[in-house]
Chain A
């Protein structure tokens, strides 16, 4: 088996995409000043409801909508606890993570009559773009991509544009840096932060839906396996900025894909080293080229209106 092949690219995209969605969820929320370590729980809930609704209706599109809808609700819950009631943001998010793990596992046997795992359900199919998938070499990649992959890649310029080129983005960033100053210019900090947290929930859940409805087509308890936290790391590694976060997500996803393949062909490298490779690369990159990552100024601080 060849290490470098089209399959590697497809696999890399599959492994990066859930991280990318969740990391952008973290980005939007944290740029507005609300820490969101609930990404993991939101992904898990999204993955779960996506499969459940697909199971009931036979339509992965309804599953997608339901999963994202639940993400928005969870965002609202996180907002309610951390923005309105001004609970500690870490505690509120941890509650969501624990809730996700317990509730989804408990509901599996109720819905499917067997604990642990759902049956397989219809998946979100790849989009066939006439012409593109017939191209030599890269055609194979296009033949594998689903609408969510395109959404994921499109999300990057959109997020960049909104954050840096629109008044909304400016207000959002201001709320995350110096909310008092933003408020003095007439920005509704509470509303802006709510908007950010709701979007964050939707994006994280989308990452979960990608995992369960694009990649595997089933739900297994705890199937996100810490991807929400890896996404957080990608967000910090990407210094809370859209383009570096894309790079970080792709690096982690492709490193995994590469590592899986390198192991199988038995490259003459100890694979403990291969496994550590992406993290080593990240460390070196951070220490040498990228420099200090600075978090938004008001991150984690509840805003109190005078």
Chain B
């Protein structure tokens, strides 16, 4: 009995491995399986070596309908436009193998390696020192002399580009929109994890709302505290928090909580149904109206757009043209690196006001705080 069970166990393991391999191709959406054209090319005319670009996702990877997907969109677009050779990798659940993945790509002679997320900053800082001929970019990662041992402040000549966003400016605009649409004078903010980056969203949102209505009440709540990053991927808790805010009288709630935001949208629908009045949710990073299921779309007022796709696309474009620039690249309102979405038409009536605020921020007339 025990003997043949052992054989079954072996078979089961083989089956699992096979299943896992299939799964990897699935999550890569087919792009990772691009045929190796270089082998065929050897027999005919040697074409110019395609630029190779490696993208390493944040925990969660493709399919968060938010941050990672936005990076993936920029990467996909660049793959289409420039015929680059794409590589996509995803760290394990705990994210402990980030460095390994980056080194793997660098050893393969990848030209540009992009880390998606601030969690990559230390790794990028470290690995970039060992591969001076490879270029690196880190979305959201602020890298300077203190980031890692042997690190230095970035300059145009560095082989690292920090792709940074003025999230506070975009959040200011959706905060203003929230205050304009609120009838209760009470709104809410849900942050995924209480870290400086997410507080930047909170600060901008609160400033925008108070700019419109100085007396507005703003509930602020974070799902988890570092080093616990589960708050970016816990829709159940996101929903409980949002339900609590609507229950307490808030009628517009903005989230900067990645995958947990799905819970907010559901809560907005339920609160609207229960109250018989419109309750709004505001999305983040990408236009979440577009990715939401139809029954939830009527509750998504707008989304704060953080054009991660633009930053990824532009970095790849620069690499392909041979003029990669290191240093700090700030994607702000002026550069359309952040903004707000209008899908659904729910903010159409206030677009002129929002555009006015946008112009004032760009001209420097309004200065948006970037910390709470």
Contacts and interface: CB of A to CB of B under 8 A. Distances in A.
A158 interface: no
Nearest to A1: B248
Contacts of A58: none
A110 B20 CA distance: 13
B6 interface: yes
A264 B23 contact: no
Interface in A110-160: 110, 114-117, 119-120
- Indicate the member of A102, A106, A110 with the most B CB atoms within 10 Å: A106
A256 B63 contact: no
B244 A264 contact: yes
Contacts, number: 147
Contacts of A110: 26
A106 B24 contact: yes
Interface residues of A: mostly helix, strand, loop or mixed?
helix
Nearest to A257: B240
Interface stretch (A24-32, A62-70, A191-199, A209-217): A209-217
Q: Name, among B188, B237, B240, the residue most crowded by chain A CB atoms within 10 Å (CB to CB).
A: B240
A107 B23 contact: yes
Contacts of A11: 240, 243-244
Contact of A115 (B6, B22, B63, B222): B63
B305 interface: no
B6 A211 contact: no
Interface in A71-105: 80-81, 84-85, 99, 101-103, 105
Interface residues of B, number: 52
A211 B2 contact: no
Interface in B63-93: 63-65, 69, 93
B185 to A, nearest CB: 13
B133 interface: no
A66 B263 CA distance: 23
A85 B9 contact: yes
Contacts of A85: 2, 5-6, 9
Interface of B: 1-2, 5-6, 9, 16, 19-20, 22-24, 26-27, 29, 60-65, 69, 93, 188, 194, 219-222, 225, 230, 233-237, 239-241, 243-245, 247-250, 259, 262-263, 266, 293, 295-296
25 contacts: A1-B244, A7-B247, A10-B243, A84-B1, A85-B2, A102-B20, A106-B23, A107-B23, A114-B63, A115-B26, A116-B65, A117-B65, A215-B236, A215-B240, A216-B263, A217-B266, A218-B262, A218-B266, A220-B235, A221-B233, A223-B233, A223-B236, A225-B237, A260-B221, A261-B244
